[in-house]
């Protein structure tokens, strides 16, 4: 798959996942109805399925039936839900964060806009991997940024409130411009959270706060078979030190370093950037599912020593990637 295809594929998966999150409560795929106190899963009310008056029959068979229903409909689903991110992490590292997470996609959008407007990703400070060059025509990006800042938090607030209040009820309240306290609190609370996280916190949240990210990070780090982006030490000898791989990394990872950074979300942007610099297929980075590595030959190590400064004084001589 060439670089552009990889990039387009990632944008498609991100957009589809955002749509899934917005539409799941609308189509009753998953939501909690606070009015009736019931959980709706794929259009049906999720219940343990016990018959009325089950507690009146004190037999062993009935007790076993109750225990079985409880395990099947209450404990097992929770175990499955809680194991999703550890299993994903063990197999794919933080792939979900880079390819699906709606918040990650939102942060990337605001990274893009602030880079175009200010020449750096963060509103607060400049990072070593920022381009430092804003767009020559900043007006369209400023207008787009204002539009996104106003609209996206409200859409997210409304969509996520739909997980607790029937989306039809919310829609009716929007049409009549009359809101109950719960709907108002849901929309305003989520909007403020989305606004602050997208404006100020961004990927710091992915690194230090997000529980799903942390689980993928830990299990991905421990797993010998998790997906990771590796620098091929032999190909690295051809590196031109253009630093393109570092500039595109919104997680501030320096992918050429021999020691893998657990914050890498396997987005593949460094793979694309390096293939652009060195030629399709000749780039330094690739996806791998193995911790095993090739120790670089002597000629490669000699060339790599020229990059020692760029690699922060670290070299591949003794370290396996
Ligand atoms: S190191 Fe590469 S794959 Fe990992 S997050 Fe950075 S750009 Fe994405
Ligand atoms: S993008 Fe490739 S050539 Fe450029 S600095 Fe990174 S590894 Fe070297």
50-91 tens-digit pLDDT: 766 666 777 777 788 788 888 888 888 888 988 999 999 999
CA torsion sign for 313, 316, 317, 321 is positive
Q: Quick check: 318 pLDDT over 50?
A: no
User: Which of 11-25, 48-62, 222-236, 301-315 comes out lowest in average pLDDT?
Assistant: 301-315
* Residue whose C-alpha is closest to residue 98's, from 9, 19, 208, 195: 9
Quickly state the pLDDT bin for 100 (edges 50, 70, 90).
very high
CA of 263 from ligand 1 middle (Å) equals 8
CA of 104 from ligand 1 middle (Å) equals 13
CA of 75 from ligand 1 middle (Å) equals 37
Residue of 266, 273, 283 with the most ligand 1 atoms within 8 Å of its CB, for mutation: 266
Using a cut of 0.85, tell me whether the model's pTM lies above it: yes
- 201 within a domain of the structure (yes/no): yes
Per-residue pLDDT of 245-296, as tens digits, reads 999 999 999 999 877 788 999 999 999 999 999 999 899 999 998 765 555 6
CA of 253 from ligand 1 middle (Å) equals 6
| Mean pLDDT (whole number) for 168-179 | 96
pLDDT at 9: 96
Cα–Cα distance, 184 to 163 (Å, whole number) = 14
Quickly state the pLDDT bin for 301 (edges 50, 70, 90).
low
Q: Quick check: 306 pLDDT over 70?
A: no
Domain of residue 288 covers 228-307
| Mean pLDDT (whole number) for 129-145 | 93
pLDDT at 74: 81
- 144 within a domain of the structure (yes/no): yes
Beta carbon of 251 within 6 Å of any ligand 1 atom: yes
Nearest protein Cα to ligand 1, atom 6: 249
- 155 within a domain of the structure (yes/no): yes
pLDDT at 297: 61
CA of 196 from ligand 1 middle (Å) equals 24
Higher pLDDT, 42 or 125: 42
Beta carbon of 253 within 6 Å of any ligand 1 atom: yes
Asked if 114 and 143 sit in the same domain, the reply is yes
Asked if 89 and 168 sit in the same domain, the reply is yes
pLDDT at 320: 47
Quickly state the pLDDT bin for 103 (edges 50, 70, 90).
very high
Closest ligand 1 atom number to CA of residue 261:
1
Number of domains in the chain: 2
Asked if 266 and 183 sit in the same domain, the reply is no
- 50 within a domain of the structure (yes/no): no
- 143 within a domain of the structure (yes/no): yes
Q: Quick check: 314 pLDDT over 80?
A: no
CA of 242 from ligand 2 middle (Å) equals 5
- 317 within a domain of the structure (yes/no): no
Asked if 150 and 249 sit in the same domain, the reply is no
- The pLDDT mean for the chain works out to 89
- 216 within a domain of the structure (yes/no): no
Beta carbon of 267 within 6 Å of any ligand 1 atom: yes
Residue of 274, 276, 281 with the most ligand 2 atoms within 8 Å of its CB, for mutation: 274
Asked if 268 and 122 sit in the same domain, the reply is no
pLDDT at 284: 94
pLDDT at 77: 86
| Mean pLDDT (whole number) for 181-200 | 96
Q: Quick check: 158 pLDDT over 90?
A: yes
Quickly state the pLDDT bin for 321 (edges 50, 70, 90).
very low
Asked if 19 and 96 sit in the same domain, the reply is yes
Asked if 179 and 292 sit in the same domain, the reply is no
């Amino acid at each position: 798959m060439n670089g552009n295809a990889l990039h387009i594929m990632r944008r498609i998966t991100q957009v589809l996942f955002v749509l899934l999150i917005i539409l799941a409560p609308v189509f009753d795929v998953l939501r909690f109805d606070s009015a009736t106190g019931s959980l709706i899963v794929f259009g049906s009310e999720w219940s343990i399925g016990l018959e009325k008056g089950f507690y009146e029959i004190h037999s062993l068979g009935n007790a076993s039936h109750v225990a079985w229903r409880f395990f099947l409909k209450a404990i097992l689903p929770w175990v499955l839900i809680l194991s999703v991110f550890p299993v994903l992490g063990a197999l794919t590292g933080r792939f979900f964060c880079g390819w699906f997470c709606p918040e990650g996609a939102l942060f990337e959008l605001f990274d893009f806009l602030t880079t175009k407007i200010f020449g750096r990703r963060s509103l607060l400070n400049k990072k070593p991997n920022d381009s430092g060059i804003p767009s020559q025509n900043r007006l369209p990006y400023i207008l787009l940024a204002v539009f996104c800042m106003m609209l996206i938090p409200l859409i997210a607030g409304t969509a996520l409130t739909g997980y607790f209040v029937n989306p039809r009820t919310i829609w009716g309240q929007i049409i009549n411009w009359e809101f109950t306290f719960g709907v108002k609190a849901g929309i305003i609370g989520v909007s403020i959270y989305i606004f602050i996280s997208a404006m100020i916190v961004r990927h710091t949240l992915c690194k230090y706060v997000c529980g799903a990210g942390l689980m993928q990070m830990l299990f991905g780090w421990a797993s010998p078979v998790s997906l990771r982006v590796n620098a091929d030490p032999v190909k690295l000898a051809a590196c031109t030190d253009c630093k393109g791989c570092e500039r595109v990394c919104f997680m501030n990872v320096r992918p050429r370093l021999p020691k893998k950074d657990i914050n890498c979300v396997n987005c593949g942007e460094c793979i694309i950037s390096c293939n652009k610099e060195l030629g399709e297929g000749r780039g330094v980075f690739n996806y791998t599912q193995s911790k095993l590595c090739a120790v670089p030959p002597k000629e490669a190590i000699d060339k790599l020593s020229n990059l020692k400064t760029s690699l922060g004084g670290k070299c591949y001589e003794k370290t396996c990637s």
